[in-house]
Amino acid sequence: MQDLTTGSVTSHLLRTTSFMLVSMVFQTLYVLVDLYWVGRLGTEAVAAVAISGNLMFLVLAATQMLGVGATTLVSHAAGQRDQARANVVFNQAQFLSIVAGIVFLIVALSQSGAYARLMSADEATTRQAVDYLRYMVPAMALQFAMVAMAATLRGTGNFKPGMIVQTMSVIINIILAPVFIFGWGWAPAMGVAGAAFASLIAIAVGVAWLTTYFVGQSAYLTFAREHWRPNFSLWRDMLKIGLPAGAEFGMMALYLAIVYAVIRPFGAPAQAGFGIGLRIMQSGFLPIVALGFAVAPVAGQNYGARRPERVRDTFKAAALIATVGMVIFALLAHIAPAALIGIFSDDPAVIEVGDEYLRISSWNFVASGLIFVTSSMFQAMGNTIPSLVTSVTRVILVAVPAFILSRQPGFEMRWIWYLSVVAVALQMSLNLLILQREFRVRLAPVAVGS
């Protein structure tokens, strides 16, 4: 276990973020390389991967319900030096992750065809989406176990195993993707399905590898059969913390589904352009996502150790880091969006859509970074309901007007991007106001009792 309750808060954040950032950099590289190879298959292939990727947000929603709750409870137990409690939380999280993964696998495989037909702009995109999901759904199902294990390790302040495993699995994916897409050497040419098949192999290796960190006498958290009996009280505690955080990603999945449905009449190039722009934006956000993963255990351990001043210092340092990082990325996305989109597609229609999406969306990058930080602070203090409320508000502010406007003559896609900018700015403002209240309500009693 890494003690995060003493020493420089900024140093803890930078060090833990750096561990996550290494794997995030490779994840970014994978996303972009994978998109590059798929882009060689044509606009419909890119559109198929883009609409299929919306299911990943559903997986993120479910895994966040487990991961956020597990990280928070383990970090509190670690801050209180209660290893036995931390180990019980770990084992219960693993049990829930396996059950959830199996349920997702069954439901998603049975409904993947219907989903592809509903979201695709044409028959060619539908066929390729079905091929892609055939292998990507099992890969997503395996993510449940991987996320649960990595989340509990983060709660103990140990980021290194997750970094190593994530990095190596991404490298495997990068190597195998073009092999199976184009049929290099001994491999069959699977087209867009090859990208998903490579992901399935890489994630399976990652799950097996990460499991080894919980075996042996030196492991702080270990698999224990006696702790796998359902503990409904603990499930309630985990899900009470994690459910709102997971619902945030569920709201994002709903938002993306609405966007893809609204722009569907504009054809596969529109879906592909939005999909590429979204992938680029997500890649640029990964360092801030890494920071968010670091904020929760650092603030969580100090909250559990009754160190309110260090909880506040964690937010201040993280907010500054996020703001600087997002300003740099926003400038790049605003100045040269067409050049970024052009790396992955030479279709002028695709480039036009992606260019406009990135240029307009860059105005909310700083606000998005602060949302990541404030959401992680809510997680650390065991109250993720504020994040859920503000996320729902944001989706409503975009979805309802977008649905109405899409039926008006002369509707343009950029109207949705402008709506999103306004909604994100409002969510950031609400998060900051609510966090100030949480500090007054939750940290003042801690300070009195410390």
pLDDT in tens, the chain (450 residues): 566 667 777 777 777 666 666 666 666 666 677 778 888 888 888 888 888 777 877 887 788 788 878 888 888 888 788 888 889 989 999 998 899 899 999 999 999 999 888 888 888 889 999 999 999 999 999 989 888 898 888 888 777 777 788 788 888 988 999 999 999 888 899 999 999 999 899 999 999 999 998 887 778 888 888 888 888 888 888 887 777 667 767 777 777 788 888 888 888 889 889 988 988 887 888 778 777 777 877 788 788 778 888 888 888 888 988 899 899 999 999 899 999 999 888 899 999 999 999 999 999 999 998 988 888 888 778 777 887 788 888 888 888 888 888 888 888 889 999 999 999 999 999 999 998 888 888 776 554 444
Residue 450: what pLDDT?
44
Residue 37: what pLDDT?
87
Residues 337 and 354: their CA atoms lie apart, in Å, by 7
Q: If you compute the radius of gyration of the chain from its CA atoms, what whole number of angstroms results?
A: 21
Tokens representing residue 138 in the block? 């099992």
Residue 349: what pLDDT?
92
Amino acid at the residue 77: A
Question: Which SS3 state, helix, strand or coil, does residue 246 take?
Answer: helix
Residue 248: what pLDDT?
67
Residues 245 and 60: their CA atoms lie apart, in Å, by 10
Name the residue among 373, 372, 379, 384 with its Cα closest to residue 76: 379
Residues 318 and 372: their CA atoms lie apart, in Å, by 10
Question: Which SS3 state, helix, strand or coil, does residue 440 take?
Answer: helix
Per-residue CA distances from 181 to 56, 132, 213, 348, 373 (Å): 21, 11, 33, 24, 38
Contact criterion met (CB below 8 Å) for 192 and 183: no
Residues 83 and 70: their CA atoms lie apart, in Å, by 14
Look at phi and psi of residue 6 and say left if phi exceeds 0, alpha if psi is from -120 to 50, else beta. Answer: beta
Residues 123 and 304: their CA atoms lie apart, in Å, by 54
Could you count the other beta carbons within 10 Å of the beta carbon of residue 252? 18
pTM above 0.85, yes or no: no
Per-residue CA distances from 132 to 50, 273, 290 (Å): 11, 19, 28
Residue 449: what pLDDT?
45
Residues 25 and 283: their CA atoms lie apart, in Å, by 8
Residue 179: what pLDDT?
94
Could you count the other beta carbons within 10 Å of the beta carbon of residue 109? 14
Residues 106 and 344: their CA atoms lie apart, in Å, by 33
**Rounded-to-10 torsion of CA 68, 69, 71, 72:** 110
Tokens representing residue 261 in the block? 């449905």
Question: Which SS3 state, helix, strand or coil, does residue 381 take?
Answer: coil
Name the residue among 370, 427, 375 with its Cα closest to residue 397: 427
Residues 40 and 192: their CA atoms lie apart, in Å, by 10
Residue 268: what pLDDT?
87
